[in-house]
Structure 1
Amino acid sequence: MGQFLDSLLLLVALCSISECVQRQYHFINEMKTWTEAQRYCREKYTDLATVDNMNDMIQLMKSVKVNDRGVWIGLQRKWQWSSGDPALFLHWGNEQPDGADECAFMRNGQWEDGKCNDSWIFVCYNMSRGLVFVNQAMTWRAAQSYCRQNHTDLVSVRNQNESQQLEKFINDSHKFASEVWIGLFRDSWQWSDRSNYSFSYWNNQEPNDYGGKENCTVVQPKTEGRWNDIVCNNLFPFVCHEDKLIVIQQNLSWSEALRYCRQNHVDLVSVQSVEMQYKVMNVVKLASTEAVWLGLRHSCALGIWFWVSGQTVCYQNWAPGNGTSEEDCEPTVRSGAVQSGGSQTWISRPETHKLNFICRNY
């Protein structure tokens, strides 16, 4: 009985171990614009700093070595398509966008930002018919609703070729068209690395978009790191982050993946909490296989699952029918993987399967 209680206490202690911080922050004391800082961080580390919670915020501020009026982080308001796709190609006219407006239209083949409540004609996209010209003036939101109800969505433009095709289509459809709505609009705040924006630490009465051009974010050391929106062309020092989880897009067996992580990083990842599962879900979408190896292993001798880091499996996220103690150990041992799509739950697979995998850098 005493031995059982000792084992139980040990399990509780192991299960209460807190998770390590997901990212390592690096303060760069060089004056750059937000875009220049982003480029620097992507070349030297992972990206401009992302902050998911108050613990991240505390760790970030520990890295800051100046008492400045602003230090760039990776939060920015970005343009995206009505379809939900990111705007990777942009074809703005001179001095556009001017930062004052939220919706985009095409004029003479180039894009400009305009007031969403203005009324212009527009172009929809239909999955079976292609481009559809609508010679009826509406606000941007009304045009979006019309396209979604009658076709697929407002038109998206992914590259220079599509932009030229759209310009020709408009000229052929309506020779006197001037301003024509497209599906581009400025969305809410987003992180540079495309992480979900859920946590915020804004200063009082911020963000206020003063002057209509404050689309980037600084932390302010003088106000304990509170955030302020500011014009992106200002010059400030900045904080980069280095991800502590990395997806390796090589197809290896579980043992080969374990060896790779230990030789090139630290180890295969362990998932000991809901928070760490969310971190894994954020990076696993980069995988090229249907599942990705975790540092999860089944012991045939003991009939238990364990993490190769030495931790007990406390938190669990198994798909139905997976992760039982009575795994079939023939012809090979089973190891744990996380699905790269769907609900991203854990599955049991023979260790000889060839999958991508997640290493940890801490």
Structure 2
Amino acid sequence: MDKTLYLILLLIALCSVSECVQRQYHFINENKTWTEAQRYCREKYTDLATADNMKDMNELNKSVNDSSVEFVWIGLQKTGQDEWQWSTGEPALYLNWLTGQPEGRDICAMMKNGKWEDLPCSDNRHFICNNTNTGPVFVNQTVNWTEAQNYCRKNHSDLVSVQNQNENQQVEKIISDRKLPEELSQVWIGLFRVRDSWQWSDQSNSSFRYWKSREPNNYQYGENCTAAELNPQGQWHDMSCNFQYSFVCYEDPELILIKENLMWSEALRYCRQNHVDLVSVHSEEIQRRVMNVVKWPSTEAVWLGLRHSCTVGIWFWVSGETVCYQNWAPGNGTSEEDCETAVRSGAVQSGGAQRWISRPETDKLNFICRRN
């Protein structure tokens, strides 16, 4: 192969790398309040457990190796905001409400003639599941929204989500092809409104929910934290945060924050001797994982494996990847670095938008190692 073409293809491959590494869950068989469990997880791992989908929940349930444990804390806590979300955990970016909808009284959504309306979740309707292999599937049963959600999760993937006009037309056609009578033409989709929005401890934007029927109910008032009931399916209950339960933490299997204050070259040596390397951030997915790992450092910024070459005036990753994806803070990451004062290396801010910044390599900061 022509050498120039080979280099171009290699550059494209490096610039398009994207990883999706599942969380590692760790069961802690110590009874603590939700806040105590959160503090423990942040000190020892990354945070209290977050779940993005049913695959995560299955892994979380499998991590609990004590059959006598009934409930475990996970990282979901009430925040008090209202928003519409998909049952799958995807954000509701595309909305196709009928004029005058939603009315605001109900919290579950159905489709009729391609438009959406809110309905009481207790109404019995046909519904559409999404199947990973075949796509949307019409289910010829009339059940309430929660029963429809449970059926889809057990037999397919989840209640259908609709993310754009094409998907909306596809679901509308599936319904119209059934030629349902007028009184049965309202069909459940996977959209629901969270009246008292819940937020994950690690601030992730996952809207996946796995509440048990009639939960959350705020039964004893002040039930602002979430515990998973392990038998039989790990579904969720809202609980008082002062109850004491065992809990599940999570960590990134590839990235680890080292809370030692070292110069950049010392941090590089530490990572290569004890793990693999300083982290390279060559995709938005890895940047998101870095943001999760870097939430609780002891310094205002954290070293990355990012280095500036004064010889050729470019930034590069020490692991060999080209700097394709970029997340620089304004005024940082230029080729005109001050090479006379100190060699510059890259760090990620601990707070705010967690952008990358240029720092003298002699600064002493925490750092992130790549473990695999």
TM-score (norm 1): 0.53
> How far apart in 2 are the matches of 1:341 and 1:43?
16
Task: Give the Å deviation of 1:239.
Answer: 1.7
Write the distance in 2 (CA, Å) between the matches of 1:190 and 1:60: 18
Shift of 1:326: 6.0
CA distance in 1, matches of 2:21, 2:307: 24
C-alpha deviation, 1:320, in angstroms? 3.6
Report the CA distance between 1:293 and its aligned residue. Answer: 2.0
Q: Aligned partners of 1:230 and 1:322: how far apart in 2?
A: 45
Structure 1 position 51, deviation (Å): 0.8
Q: Does 1:248 align with 2:259?
A: yes
Contact 2:349/2:356, CA 8 A, preserved across alignment = yes
1:145-156 alignment, distance < 5 Å: none
* 1:195 correspondence with 2:206: no
1:28-58 CA-partner distances (Å, limit 9, x unpaired): 4x47464598289459833763316337556
Q: Output one character per residue of 1:191-249: Cα deviation in whole Å (capped at 9) or x when no partner.
A: 5xx42263232325432223435443233556754433245577765322346432535
Cα distance between partner residues in 1 of 2:360 and 2:365: 14
Per the alignment, residue 262 of structure 1 pairs with 272
* Aligned residue runs from structure 1 range 99-138, under 5 A: none
Unaligned runs of 5+ in 1: 80-186
Give the superposed CA RMSD: 4.1
**Which residues of 2 match residues 66-85 of structure 1 at below 5 A?**
70-77=71-78
| 1:278-336 C-alpha deviation (Å, 9 max, x unpaired) | 44445546455554321111344555432223333221012344324565644653321
Q: How many residues align?
A: 250
Moved more, 37-46 or 3-12: 37-46
* Structure 2 counterpart of 1:218: 227
The amino acid across from 1:71 in the alignment is V
1:19 is paired with a residue whose SS is coil
2:355 to 330, 337, 345: 345
2:327 counterpart SS class: coil
* Structure with bigger gyration radius: 1
Give the aligned partner of residue 344 of structure 2. Answer: 334
CA contact (8 A) 1:38 1:48 kept: no
User: Amino acid of the residue matched to residue 309 of structure 1?
Assistant: S
**Residue 2 (structure 1) aligns with:** 2
Provide closer, same or farther for how the CA distance between residues 47 and 285 of structure 1 changes in structure 2, counting only shifts above 3 A: closer
Do the aligned residues in 1 keep the contact of 2:79 with 2:198 (CA within 8 Å)? yes
> Per the alignment, do residues 20 and 248 of structure 1 end up closer, same or farther by CA in structure 2, a change over 3 Å counting?
farther
CA contact (8 A) 1:296 1:335 kept: yes
Paired position in structure 1 for 2:323: 313
Specify the alignment match of 2:37 in structure 1.
38
Match for residue 161 of structure 1?
none
Shift of 1:254: 1.4
**Are residues 205 and 3 of structure 1, via their aligned partners in 2, closer, same or farther at CA, if it must alter by over 3 Å?**
farther
Q: 1:215 to 1:32 in 2, by over 3 A?
A: same
TM-score (norm. length: structure 2): 0.52
1:149 is matched with none
Deviation at 1:255, TM superposition (A): 0.6
In structure 2, the CA distance between the partners of 1:12 and 1:292, relative to structure 1 (3 Å rule), is same
Q: Distance in 2 between matches of 1:242 and 1:331?
A: 38
Query: Which whole-Å CA distance do the structure 1 matches of 2:348 and 2:46 have between them?
Result: 25
Aligned partner of 1:293 among 303, 318, 341: 303
2: distance between equivalents of 1:360 and 1:238?
26
Whether 1:355 and 2:346 are equivalent positions in the alignment is: no
Distance change >3 Å, CA 333–CA 190, structure 1 → 2: same
Which consecutive unaligned segments of at least 5 residues does structure 2 have? 81-195
Deviation, 1:361, is 5.8
User: 2 CA distance for matches of 1:26 and 1:272?
Assistant: 28
> Structure 1: how far apart are the matches of 2:227 and 2:320?
40
CA–CA distance in structure 2, aligned partners of residues 281 and 11 of structure 1 = 25
- How far did residue 20 of structure 1 move? 5.6
Percent of residue pairs bearing the same amino acid type: 56
Name the SS of the counterpart of 1:310 in structure 2: coil
Bigger shift: residues 312-321 or 61-70: 61-70
Give, as a single letter, the amino acid of the residue that structure 2 aligns with 1:260: Y
